Chains A and B, each alone.
Chain A
């Protein structure tokens, strides 16, 4: 089947996750949904502009992990060995070198393929993290994007590794002679720097003010202020501040907000720009803009399920787990309660400097009751590791999503009570077992209970999530999972998300108790939770009338509501339940009529079902709402082609290319039209272009191989066919096509 969409969109930063069908729905906000604060790349001044007046803070920041988080390649930023020592793969070698001009390069040599030299244009990370510090590299591509390279370096292992999750499902693996280059999901480079709904991406966190966007007619453009985390990443755009402070008199408005006076949520939003998984509500976030306008921190629970029932990391989650912690839920703890924000050292809640990350005063400046006689709480010798608060309550846990091979452990920011038996049940190494590995979980649990008695109960949602099973009926599930009075918003969301995906079917209705509980959740001021509750009522509503309330909801809620319905539709499609998928999309359309993303998704659904005229209508409507979307033009072209309108299809592909001259799928489908028309020469030209601008698409390579074979250029076809197979190891159709080509080549029967 010819691809109709990009293979990946917004994702957790290192993982290719389930692709939400409506992840791009934020591209076309309606008129009422414009950003409240407009911030442009030109509004940023760069850290150097801060140094003159804020010398102490600048010096502190410059030596911090933020200040040293990356940048242009050079001796100051690169910790990986660019000394020509080859990175040896099963099918080739990669030479990291610095050429005579000081350029950092990866020279890729694979048997039977032309040598490829990749220039390092950006260094990502400095290997600073205690639980596993890594460094990655990015290169500027011909299509205007900047993409991650698959050659990552682990400081702790002192070795190169790559992320094999996308293609092989294994996670981060050190490169060995067993590793094929194409095992690495980023070969050819696929993940872009910056938030682009049509690409797998790492949002905008591996640098400062990274913007990637399509300039219609010109193609993709990627810019950044810096590839470290600069002052303005936290303080917001400072150009106006610099101008104001350069004037003779300054007023109360200095062009920047005071971070000192941030409330809890404002403060967390600064850090959660990067330190949390989140779904994109709207492309184009720049620091200083309200986070909730652009990102939803709880929606990933519904899609990629990053958290365990008690909020700890199931897959990969950064420090957003803090939102599950009692310190946040029952207190007012923010990141800067412990982390000094300039030098990223440690201080206590009153800003008294602390020696390091193990200093108990991070905790005891609030939990003072534990400080007076700590041994009565710790039961460990005072100077032993077991007596340190963080060693028991914030143990370093390897994030399961990256696999066990490359260290990437992060301190547990849910700040849990050690519960060895539960930890084992959840697949985690408990803090107790982290040291006492010779003792069984049962023995450790018995010791915990002997010392502390019954441990603090889990919150009601976590307890419910642990109690619920597939056999649980909807009424009991509602009681176990829906807790409107639970103080934590994340747990409330998690319980409701589980209820929605497990016990609610489109039009299936809800019991009275569930309706009452969900309705109370729908009164939440939190836009994520409110939207989820409204969507739950909407999904269950047999008449589909719950949307009537949508117009009264804030745009931020409606957009999330729509995204949730889109995610559910996507999951229904993956289950093969097309009817449910359509039903959900129609509900989504009612929430935000005319939304380009919903119409795009509806068109795709119709196309899947062979309803080409309906697909054409939907795509056309989508383009009417937002004409600057090359992917929709491609899909419209495909629908026209399927309906027999080849000329119309070509027009759409050309429109897509007029918007983005590097739109690989337009070239690919253009080639398909040429090939069907019996014009393999034109098809080959289109396919070659598709491969050039989008080398990561296996179908482009495969179709090029097929076209080459048709004109008898079978030896040229085979490398492309094999690469297609390498890039899509699970695709049986590709494998069959490659086998056929190889058979043809072996029989010297050129097609």
Chain B
């Protein structure tokens, strides 16, 4: 149907069928299905239900005025004050993002129904285009609920079947009631935590939390593995563990290890210090169960295969020391500031090593190896520019390999550069070295590659 967009037709599809109605005692399972949690999360029923009611976009879908989408994204209730509350969650989008999304989801190429506010916004953000909108649409997980022929549902949020293993009930309730960003960025900006605010009332929170906490093994397969996002799986329950009793001295020792020696703060924030790739470490005891924290610190892949967080090469006693420190540290849980910006388009590169580089290296070293990854501004030592041919020509391949394997500390460089030796095999590491050589378009020094193949 072409012509002037029919707002009413879209509005009817924007409502979620409300289980039991607002007055009934909500059922957790029904709520989870109705809200479409499974569209992003593994371990709960999939998003079929929500996709049946969330309006589709793109070619073949009912046309929608871009200005309507623009304003709706700002506050659905303002746009549609006279009908039942939509379950469209809030995303706290900025103006530029709303412009880009509006341009992407509408088919109205002629831009009818554009009002002055939207026109002004477009003028303020001339670079916000459909491509940006698509990237954001995918990054935010919109495609989990809204079908769009140009977009793929790529968000893989944590496996909710293991909620009871991971989080503390009190924190979960607070989080559902008022979600905050846990992971500020992920391996690339736009891939951080995207849990929207469903504006749940207390009864709904209680129902959903109760449902999630009693879940066992996942009945629903996890989304396909994707290196750029952590695919969760149902892990074996970590053995019960309580943090060690640490003296103030031991606490200080652990904090010094974290701040001055280990690589954790290359990705995680502690207080005002640290990177923005992974979740903030403050207040972790409020959020996560101790045995889960310990398991993460020892071997994150045991909980999340394919995670970019490397397994530590440190000895168990010190890992327990640091895990205990994180759990005992007197710091409130505050969530993180989501790293702003749209997901940077990744270069289409299928070279061996490219995927690992983009997932594990690019956050700091930049997708083109310019040392300008989104996480670089948060690091005290600028990451090496792998594209710097002159500098990289001085480094033997083996030095690059060793740095990837054992971390920056052993090279006398930044201790924030993690050691991937326990997570990447020889082949993957060599592929990374080869990929880095494509970025600098250079080779290592002659003395390091001469002879009969000896290194």
Partner-B contacts on A (CB < 8 A): 250-254, 258, 260-261, 263-264, 329-333, 349-352, 365-370, 372, 376-377, 379, 449-457
- Chain B residues positioned under 8 Å from A263 (CB to CB): 260
Complex CA gap A74/B137 in Å reads 81
- Chain B residues positioned under 8 Å from A372 (CB to CB): 426
B343 at the interface (CB under 8 A from A): no
Known A-B contacts A376-B455, A451-B452, A456-B447; A369 and B398 likewise in contact (beta carbons under 8 Å)? yes
B8 at the interface (CB under 8 A from A): no
Asked whether A258 lies within 8 Å of B447 as measured between CB atoms, the reply is no
Asked whether B409 lies within 8 Å of A368 as measured between CB atoms, the reply is no
Complex interface residues of chain B between 226 and 250 (CB less than 8 A to chain A): 247-249
Complex CA gap A370/B448 in Å reads 12
Asked whether B410 lies within 8 Å of A252 as measured between CB atoms, the reply is no
Known A-B contacts A376-B453, A377-B454; A456 and B448 likewise in contact (beta carbons under 8 Å)? yes
Contact of B447 among A254, A368, A455 (CB under 8 A): A455
* Stretch of B29-37, B84-92, B400-408 at the chain-chain interface: B400-408
Asked whether A332 lies within 8 Å of B410 as measured between CB atoms, the reply is yes
- Chain B residues positioned under 8 Å from A333 (CB to CB): 410
Pairs across A and B, CB under 8 Å, 5 listed? A251-B248, A260-B253, A332-B412, A352-B315, A454-B450
Closest to A366 in B: B410
Asked whether B315 lies within 8 Å of A367 as measured between CB atoms, the reply is no
Complex CA gap A330/B421 in Å reads 20
Closest to A256 in B: B249
How many pairs of residues, A versus B, come closer than 8 Å at their CB atoms? 96
Contact of A252 among B251, B402, B429 (CB under 8 A): B251
Closest to B256 in A: A261
Known A-B contacts A251-B248, A252-B249, A254-B247; A332 and B454 likewise in contact (beta carbons under 8 Å)? no
Asked whether A250 lies within 8 Å of B248 as measured between CB atoms, the reply is yes
CB distance from B6 to the nearest CB of A (A): 63
Asked whether A349 lies within 8 Å of B410 as measured between CB atoms, the reply is yes
Asked whether B405 lies within 8 Å of A368 as measured between CB atoms, the reply is yes
Contact of A368 among B253, B397, B406, B412 (CB under 8 A): B406
- Chain A residues positioned under 8 Å from B448 (CB to CB): 456
Contact of B315 among A250, A252, A350, A455 (CB under 8 A): A350
Cβ-closest 4 pairs across A and B: A453-B450, A453-B451, A368-B405, A369-B401
Scoring B249, B314, B405, B421 by chain A CB atoms within 10 A of each residue's CB, the highest score goes to B249
Complex CA gap A622/B339 in Å reads 67
CB distance from A742 to the nearest CB of B (A): 66
Known A-B contacts A330-B412, A350-B315, A376-B455; A365 and B249 likewise in contact (beta carbons under 8 Å)? no
Asked whether B257 lies within 8 Å of A332 as measured between CB atoms, the reply is no
Complex CA gap A99/B53 in Å reads 102
Known A-B contacts A350-B315, A452-B450; A261 and B253 likewise in contact (beta carbons under 8 Å)? yes
B200 at the interface (CB under 8 A from A): no
Asked whether A454 lies within 8 Å of B406 as measured between CB atoms, the reply is no
- Chain B residues positioned under 8 Å from A258 (CB to CB): 249, 252-253, 256
Asked whether A367 lies within 8 Å of B313 as measured between CB atoms, the reply is no
Complex CA gap A258/B253 in Å reads 7
- Chain B residues positioned under 8 Å from A252 (CB to CB): 248-249, 251-252
Asked whether A452 lies within 8 Å of B247 as measured between CB atoms, the reply is no
Closest to A449 in B: B451
Contact of B455 among A366, A377, A455, A457 (CB under 8 A): A377
Asked whether B402 lies within 8 Å of A369 as measured between CB atoms, the reply is yes
Complex CA gap A610/B85 in Å reads 108
Asked whether A452 lies within 8 Å of B454 as measured between CB atoms, the reply is yes
Q: For this complex, into which size category does the number of interface residues on chain B fall?
A: 35 or more
Known A-B contacts A331-B412, A456-B447; A369 and B454 likewise in contact (beta carbons under 8 Å)? no
B411 at the interface (CB under 8 A from A): yes
Asked whether A350 lies within 8 Å of B455 as measured between CB atoms, the reply is no
Known A-B contacts A350-B315, A369-B405, A450-B452; A331 and B253 likewise in contact (beta carbons under 8 Å)? no
- Chain A residues positioned under 8 Å from B249 (CB to CB): 250-254, 258
- Chain B residues positioned under 8 Å from A455 (CB to CB): 447
CB distance from B248 to the nearest CB of A (A): 4
Asked whether B411 lies within 8 Å of A330 as measured between CB atoms, the reply is yes
Closest to B247 in A: A250
Complex CA gap A115/B452 in Å reads 69
Closest to B404 in A: A368
Complex CA gap A376/B449 in Å reads 12
- Chain B residues positioned under 8 Å from A330 (CB to CB): 411-412
Scoring A253, A332, A350, A379 by chain B CB atoms within 10 A of each residue's CB, the highest score goes to A350
B80 at the interface (CB under 8 A from A): no
Complex CA gap A94/B451 in Å reads 59
Complex CA gap A351/B253 in Å reads 17
B446 at the interface (CB under 8 A from A): yes
CB distance from B420 to the nearest CB of A (A): 10
- Chain A residues positioned under 8 Å from B314 (CB to CB): 350-351
Asked whether B261 lies within 8 Å of A370 as measured between CB atoms, the reply is no
CB distance from A316 to the nearest CB of B (A): 28
Asked whether A331 lies within 8 Å of B401 as measured between CB atoms, the reply is no
Complex CA gap A254/B257 in Å reads 18
Asked whether B454 lies within 8 Å of A451 as measured between CB atoms, the reply is yes
Asked whether B315 lies within 8 Å of A370 as measured between CB atoms, the reply is no
Asked whether A370 lies within 8 Å of B398 as measured between CB atoms, the reply is yes
Complex CA gap A377/B455 in Å reads 5
CB distance from A24 to the nearest CB of B (A): 37
Fill in one digit per residue for B1-15: 1 if any A CB lies within 8 Å of its CB, else 0. Answer: 000000000000000
Complex CA gap A363/B260 in Å reads 23
Known A-B contacts A260-B253, A369-B397; A454 and B446 likewise in contact (beta carbons under 8 Å)? yes
CB distance from B74 to the nearest CB of A (A): 49
- Chain A residues positioned under 8 Å from B452 (CB to CB): 450-451
Closest to B395 in A: A330
- Chain B residues positioned under 8 Å from A332 (CB to CB): 409-412
- Chain A residues positioned under 8 Å from B455 (CB to CB): 369-370, 376-377
Closest to B260 in A: A261
Closest to A379 in B: B454
- Chain A residues positioned under 8 Å from B450 (CB to CB): 452-454
CB distance from A54 to the nearest CB of B (A): 14
Complex CA gap A599/B251 in Å reads 51
Complex interface residues of chain B between 391 and 440 (CB less than 8 A to chain A): 397-398, 401-402, 405-406, 409-412, 421, 426, 429
Complex CA gap A505/B56 in Å reads 87
Closest to A378 in B: B454
Asked whether B411 lies within 8 Å of A367 as measured between CB atoms, the reply is no
Asked whether A376 lies within 8 Å of B454 as measured between CB atoms, the reply is yes
Complex interface residues of chain B between 271 and 315 (CB less than 8 A to chain A): 313-315
Complex CA gap A189/B305 in Å reads 69
- Chain A residues positioned under 8 Å from B398 (CB to CB): 367, 369-370
Asked whether A350 lies within 8 Å of B313 as measured between CB atoms, the reply is yes
Closest to B252 in A: A252
- Chain B residues positioned under 8 Å from A379 (CB to CB): 454
Contact of B401 among A253, A368, A377, A451 (CB under 8 A): A368
- Beyond contacts A331-B412, A455-B447, A457-B447: 11 other A-B pairs, Cβ-Cβ < 8 A, are A251-B249, A252-B252, A261-B256, A332-B411, A333-B410, A369-B398, A372-B426, A376-B455, A450-B451, A453-B451, A454-B446
- Chain B residues positioned under 8 Å from A264 (CB to CB): 412
CB distance from A132 to the nearest CB of B (A): 31
Asked whether A331 lies within 8 Å of B410 as measured between CB atoms, the reply is yes
- Chain A residues positioned under 8 Å from B449 (CB to CB): 453
CB distance from A354 to the nearest CB of B (A): 13
Scoring B253, B315, B397, B410 by chain A CB atoms within 10 A of each residue's CB, the highest score goes to B410
Complex CA gap A369/B252 in Å reads 35
Contact of B421 among A368, A452, A454 (CB under 8 A): A368
Scoring A372, A450, A457 by chain B CB atoms within 10 A of each residue's CB, the highest score goes to A372
CB distance from B246 to the nearest CB of A (A): 11
CB distance from B232 to the nearest CB of A (A): 28
Closest to B453 in A: A376
Asked whether B406 lies within 8 Å of A366 as measured between CB atoms, the reply is yes
CB distance from B430 to the nearest CB of A (A): 8
- Chain A residues positioned under 8 Å from B453 (CB to CB): 376
- Chain A residues positioned under 8 Å from B401 (CB to CB): 368-369
Asked whether A453 lies within 8 Å of B257 as measured between CB atoms, the reply is no
Complex CA gap A263/B256 in Å reads 10
